[in-house]
Structure 1
């Protein structure tokens, strides 16, 4: 991935934060909000193959990153006016069978403070290896279900051991997921109609976490593999924009 894609992202007017994971300050975002990710379970390996340079992050099982909620107000997408895009460059590795994997978002299931999160491998709605964009207006499980079921879910399995560009957008009306810059259309689930907006967790809501979420009283749903870049925007980017970033 060449330098020009870097500038397309860094120069985008809706950019909030962009982590390219390069250099000594790999966990410090570029862009208008230079938020710092904290390593929460030991130093994440700096892997010597990257998307935006010679480095990326390789997560061992149980590792995750976070920004305390109070330190990242621009990532606190909430309410009826919420609009967002989360884009990630990933190289999946095999994970324990049946394990959901969180890539990034504000999503605390234990305290019923779900807002938004980019996932892989959600097991709901006959899904397995696809990209998922989870949205919640209530913070808790969907009424009548043990889990939150409101999610855009694509059709395509994300391959192992191969770089993929995955993205999740929400514009206040529809959640959508994209693979390599294209809408990964799936009947009834992508686009996913959701007019309720996002839960407002207030001062005590969820932290922004990468590579895992708090659920069942502890961190889990760990991401397995390599993360080459992560970008968050405060608008729902369209297919043309995501395709330009992906090319």
Structure 2
């Protein structure tokens, strides 16, 4: 176990932490209080010897993702006016043309209008491009007056391809924020992003927790392609100091 992994596991607010050390064809089992299982979708997801929180990382080809059914992960169902969370992802994007935004992780079902929260890259809204974004929604459906959800924290820094990043997305019930390599990626109006409405309650039929893609337009899409070296979810908005310590650089 790396010192960074040990530090993650020491956090009182940790829900689940996946380090992706398992071989392809195996379910990825979380460390921490809730050993939730991510199942491979669209074929076995390769393990490559290029990790940041261990020897290995998962390599998601375009069109692959991990799924965790909603009924099996109640501790990840952040909803209501008191909802708080942090998603932390260590990743390296593939050097390819991205025709859509890229979903990293969250409970976010656009098809059935059951959006709650999710980390994305390359949202391309509000004048953004390849930045990290932290989507929050109380409506579940599109933002009023728009064809899609527009409520999100979006950073200022375009993320390069073929480079490792530690990315964090927090929501404390008042602000959504996104961080790049331990630093708040400030952007006027959009990071921090004021959002005091809380998160959508999908009940028993809401979104699954997915990694690397989301349900949209009646099918899975918004695929992330590249390496995923770690994913951790917390039930509090981590402080700037803790986020800095958990970053890889």
Query: Could you say which TM-score interval applies, normalised by the shorter chain?
Result: over 0.9
2:12 matched to 1:22? no
Comparing 51-60 with 187-196, greater Cα deviation is found at 51-60
Indicate if the aligned counterparts of 1:103 and 1:118 stay in contact, CA closer than 8 A.
yes
Q: How many residues align?
A: 246
Indicate if the aligned counterparts of 2:66 and 2:212 stay in contact, CA closer than 8 A.
yes
The 5 Å alignment of 1:158-237 reads 158-237=159-238
Q: Deviations over 1:29-77 (max 9, x none)?
A: 0000000001111000101110111111111110011100000000000
Indicate if the aligned counterparts of 2:110 and 2:215 stay in contact, CA closer than 8 A.
yes
* 3-state SS, counterpart of residue 29 of structure 2: coil
> 2: distance between equivalents of 1:74 and 1:4?
25
> 2: distance between equivalents of 1:97 and 1:110?
21
| Residue aligning to 2:82 | 81
| Residue aligning to 2:33 | 32
> 2: distance between equivalents of 1:52 and 1:175?
26
Compute the TM-score of the two structures, normalised by the length of structure 2.
Answer: 0.96
Indicate if the aligned counterparts of 2:21 and 2:47 stay in contact, CA closer than 8 A.
no
2:4 matched to 1:5? yes
The 5 Å alignment of 1:124-135 reads 124-135=125-136
Compute the TM-score of the two structures, normalised by the length of structure 1.
Answer: 0.97
Structure 1 residue runs of 4+, over 6 Å off? none
Indicate if the aligned counterparts of 1:88 and 1:229 stay in contact, CA closer than 8 A.
yes
- Offset at 1:95? 3.6
* 3-state SS, counterpart of residue 241 of structure 1: helix
**For the aligned residues, what is the CA RMSD?**
1.1
Any gaps of 5 or more consecutive residues in structure 2? none
- Offset at 1:26? 6.4
2:116 matched to 1:120? no
Indicate if the aligned counterparts of 1:98 and 1:123 stay in contact, CA closer than 8 A.
no
> 2: distance between equivalents of 1:135 and 1:194?
8
Any gaps of 5 or more consecutive residues in structure 1? none
- Offset at 1:120? 0.1
The 5 Å alignment of 1:37-186 reads 37-186=38-187
- Offset at 1:97? 3.9
Q: Deviations over 1:94-135 (max 9, x none)?
A: 343442000000000000000000000001101110000000
